[in-house]
Every structure is written in structure tokens, then in C-alpha cells.
Amino acid sequence: MNEMPEPVQLHLRRVWLEDGRFAYLCIGPEGLIQDWHPTIGHYGFESLQKNAAASEKLPFLEGLLPYRESEPFILNAITFPKGVAADIHILQAAQKTWVLFFDVTESLKQKQKLQQDRHDIDLLSRQQQKYIKQLTQTHQELEGKKKQAESANRAKTRLLSYITHDLRTPLTSILSFAQFLEADVFGGLNEKQRDCIKKMLDAGEHMNALINEILDIAQIESGNLELHIEDLPVSFLVAECVTWLQPIADNHGIRLINHVQGRVKIQADSKRFKQVIINVLNNAIKYNREEGCIIISAKVMEDYLSISVKDTGIGIADGMVEKIFQPFARVLDKKKAKDIEGSGVGLSECKQLLELMGGSLGVRSEPGIGSVFYIDLPLAVACKGRSEYRTYHRLVYLHQDRMHFELLNGLLAPYQNYRLFGCTRDEQGIAECRKQQATLLLDVEEADHPGLDERLASLRQQLKPVTMVAVLEKSTEAAKIKRILQQGDVDDYLLRPFDFNQLIDILEQQ
Ligand code: ADP
């Protein structure tokens, strides 16, 4: 390096990077290689010879030699076979040509990587733009379809409103004229004519109810249904609905047992709440068996009230349960569908109404045994999480052995929502049940005891709206149990010694 002339050293100092690799070659005026720096091997020039013609050994100098300019000539990023790269500066000093190598392998790699990254980013951004364009297009198409659907729905709702309105007006006239005829306003009717008028009125009323249901559904779907949510006293409203439906249940010999008591309040729209209860109760009557039973109970949960309506009817086939909540869906065989009046609209409307009120509608069913419908609604704020609003389940145990009573009492002790009363005589049991509106648990020592049927029938006669559960020995034959249940006086049975799970299961359903 000492032999390097001043201008070369100056240039070298200007360009030299501390951590960069450096090498040089010196070429004499005749174009022959005179000297080189030892690191030149790094660029692949291992076998240099002095006085070799530079243009042969260093092909990149072709056309540049002999170099005569005063300013350096720079070749950028020349790559060599070993995978290294250098910026090459050619200088003329002391009548020699100096070829300086500055290693740029790393920076070239970084530059290339940067370029690749830029290229990738560019590609990604182009792809992204393509996707955004596609998404925008899909979004616009969806928006268009949504608008079409909304407009079709509005048209459907308008059409339904017109139709129902236009149907209702002539229907009201038909019903009014039929009522005139029925009231003998235009002279007496014979038996047959009276029968026809009655059928006309019945069919007209049915059509009226159907129109109202369709109107309601149209309003719910269009989001135009107005609800007046307030704190409602549940037991009062349920009792009202039960009173309305009692005559229909009586017509079919169905016992309607209402256990909903207490001061608990829910948040709901009074008219719509009653509509739901009436619909579910009406179904429990329609789809029940003659002489069947319906039990309505309520359970206070943490922040909602669960009202259950249990029937002893035909039940719903497996896999059909979801279907019954769809509009116009009836899941009956053809013969039953003909015999039992209905449109399949009620439950779907009830479900939507309950959801609008922040509640839900559910069902559990066993074909041939019966169904339980659950109506859940939010508790009034003042009742949430308050134990004094819990509804109690009162049980009267008409037992034949004090021990049995003590055992049951012990089992139920951890459950705060049960109140158990014991008695040993039928009259006492009847009086307690009536007083407390309780469920009667009844010890049956022998399932074929003479006089048992008469006793059960008499209890049933005196305790019409009460659930009766027979308590039998575990060893009782299944056929005997079946016979007792088929008599229709008791609603369910429990086996003694009590199986804890069965006990709670049965009591929960009463
Ligand atoms: P509808 O009773 O007018 O047919 P709903 O919407 O009230 O219409 O009920 C839909 C269907 O659900 C009924 O057609 C019936 O098949 C079934 N269903 C409803 N309630 C009961 C019930 N308590 N027991 C058995 N099936 C029922």
C-alpha cells in the first residue's frame, strides 16, 4: 500500500468502509499487471502473474485500457464467480492504472432482498386490490339482493295487510248476518238451519282468528309490531288465561292444574304474554287425550322465570320438534290433522313474540306420553336474584308410615323450593291439598289391594285440579303399576325406597 501514489490513497480513504473488504490491482503503462493486494484472491483472481496482459486476466476492463482520464471511472456491483460482488473504481495515477475493488456483496444482497420484498409487496398489494375489488363487487351484489328481498318482503307484508283487511270486512258482515239469523231476528229457524248457522259461525270465527294470526306475523316480520313492556304479575295473568280455557278443558274431561303462585313479576307485554300462554295451553288441550291432564308451573331462575306447561297428550315425534316452530308447520299424521283444528301458525308466532320480549320458547316431548313447553321471560328488575320471590312447590304426603315421611323430608331438605307436609288420613290430605294447592303424594301399600281403585277415584273426584302421584314399593310389578296409571286417577308414580334422581325428575315436572 505504501507504494500507492497519493491520489489513489486519497480516493481509497474517501470510499473505504471500515468493515468492507478491499483489494486492488496496479497496471503499468504497457497494459501489464504489475502488482496486487493479497486479498485479490477473494474475487477469484488466485493465479495472477506479474507482467501478464491485464485485458486477458481482467475482461471487465475491456475497452477501458489504457485508461487516461483524471477522474475515476466506476463500475457498479460487478459480480464474480465466487458469489462476491464489488464496486470497481479505475484511477490513473503516477502513469499507472489502479483498479480498486470495494466489496459490496452484503449490500448487494440486501439491495436484492429489498427489491424482492418490494416486488412481493407490490404483488400482494395488487392481489389485495383485486380482492378488495371482488369484495366490493360481491358486497354490492349482496346489497342489491338484500334490497330486493326487503322490497319483496315489504310487498308481501303490504299484500298480506290488504288481503287480511279486505277479507276481514266481508267476513265481519257474514258473521253479523249469521248472528242475526241465529238470534231469530228474521223469524224462527228449524233444527237443521240452526245447525248450519252454528257451523257457519264456527268456521267464520276460525277464519277470523287465522286472519289475526297472519296479520300479526306480517307485523312481526316487517318490524312494525309495537310492544308495551312492563312489570307483570305472572300468577294473576296465568290464572286469567286458565279461567278462560277451563270450559274447553272441561269439555274434554281434561284437568287443568295451575301451580303458578306468588308475587313474582316478569318484564313483558301483557297482551302478547297472554296470547302465548293461551296458545300453548290451547295446544295442550287440543293435542291431549280425553280425560288427560295439564300442569302449569313456574320456576324462578337467577334472572328469568321459566313457566312450564306439561300435558299428557300425543307428544311430538323425534326429529319433528324443531319443525313445529316454523310457520304453517303441523307435524301430525293426516287423520289427526283433519280431526284437530289448526293452522300451524301459533307456535311460530309465540316464539317470535317471546324472542322480541327477550325470552324464549322450548319444548321437551315424548311421543305417546306427552309434552312440556317452556316459556322463559326476563324477571322484573326488582325480582332478579331475590330469594323471597322464589316459587315454592308444595307437597302433601299422605303416608302410611311416619318413617317414609321422614325419609322424603330428609331427601328434600337441601332443596329450598319444596315444602313438604305429612298426613295419614285421606280427609286430612284432601283438606291440606285444597288449602295449599299442593301436589298429593300417596302411599299405595299394595297395588292390587281391594278397594284401592275406589279410594283413588274418590280422591280424584274430590281433588280435581291437583296432581296425584302414587308412591309404590320398588318390588311392585310393572303390570300392576301400568294398571293403576291406566285407571287415569293418578298422574304419575314414584318408587320407594326413593331414587333421588327419579324423585326430583318427577317432582320437577309437576
Ligand atoms: P296449530 O296447533 O294451529 O296446528 P301451532 O303452531 O300452535 O299450530 O303448533 C304447530 C304444531 O305443533 C301443531 O300442528 C302440532 O303438530 C304440534 N304441537 C303443538 N303443541 C303440541 C302439543 N302440546 N302436543 C303435541 N303436538 C303439539
CA 226 to chain centre: 25
Pick the residue whose CA is nearest to atom 14 on ligand 1: 330
Report the atom number in ligand 1 closest to the C-alpha of 309: 23
> Is the bond preceding 327 in cis, omega lying within 30 degrees of 0?
no
pLDDT of residue 1: 47
CA 378 to chain centre: 18
pLDDT along the chain (510 residues), means of 10: 78 74 90 91 88 87 84 89 89 91 90 93 94 95 93 80 80 90 83 90 87 82 86 94 93 90 90 96 94 88 88 88 86 77 88 94 89 94 69 85 88 78 92 86 87 91 86 90 87 86 73
Whether the CB-CB separation of 198 and 183 falls below 8 Å is answered with no
pLDDT of residue 116: 94
Whether the CB-CB separation of 429 and 442 falls below 8 Å is answered with yes
d(CA 500, CA 481): 20
C-alpha 283 to ligand 1 mean position (Å): 6
pLDDT of residue 333: 77
| Residues contacting residue 469 through CB under 8 Å, at least 6 positions apart | 439, 440, 441, 442, 490, 491, 492, 493, 494, 506, 510
C-alpha 198 to ligand 1 mean position (Å): 26
Instruction: Tell me which of 275, 282, 287 to substitute to probe ligand 1's pocket, judged by most ligand atoms within 8 Å of the beta carbon.
Output: 287
Instruction: Tell me which of 281, 309, 324 to substitute to probe ligand 1's pocket, judged by most ligand atoms within 8 Å of the beta carbon.
Output: 324
Q: DSSP letter for 53, please.
A: B
Query: Has this prediction a pTM greater than 0.85?
Result: no
Partner residues linked to 53 by β-bridges: 32
C-alpha 197 to ligand 1 mean position (Å): 28
Q: Which helix (H) or strand (E) holds 302?
A: none
C-alpha 219 to ligand 1 mean position (Å): 22
Q: What is the DSSP string of 385-406?
A: T-GGGPPPEEEEEE-S-HHHHH
pLDDT of residue 390: 62
Pick the residue whose CA is nearest to atom 19 on ligand 1: 283
Pick the residue whose CA is nearest to atom 8 on ligand 1: 344
pLDDT of residue 56: 85
Report the atom number in ligand 1 closest to the C-alpha of 315: 25
Whether the CB-CB separation of 370 and 313 falls below 8 Å is answered with yes
Ligand 1 neighbours by CB, cut-off 6 Å: 279, 283-284, 287, 311, 313-316, 324, 330-332, 342-348, 371
pLDDT of residue 388: 59
Whether the CB-CB separation of 309 and 294 falls below 8 Å is answered with yes
d(CA 288, CA 367): 12
C-alpha 36 to ligand 1 mean position (Å): 102
Contacts 24+ apart (CB under 8 A), 148-155: 153/221, 153/222, 154/222
C-alpha 324 to ligand 1 mean position (Å): 6
C-alpha 279 to ligand 1 mean position (Å): 9
Q: Within 10 Å of residue 277's Cβ, how many Cβ atoms?
A: 24
Pick the residue whose CA is nearest to atom 2 on ligand 1: 342
Nine-digit cell string for 387:
330469594
d(CA 333, CA 337): 6
pLDDT of residue 275: 95
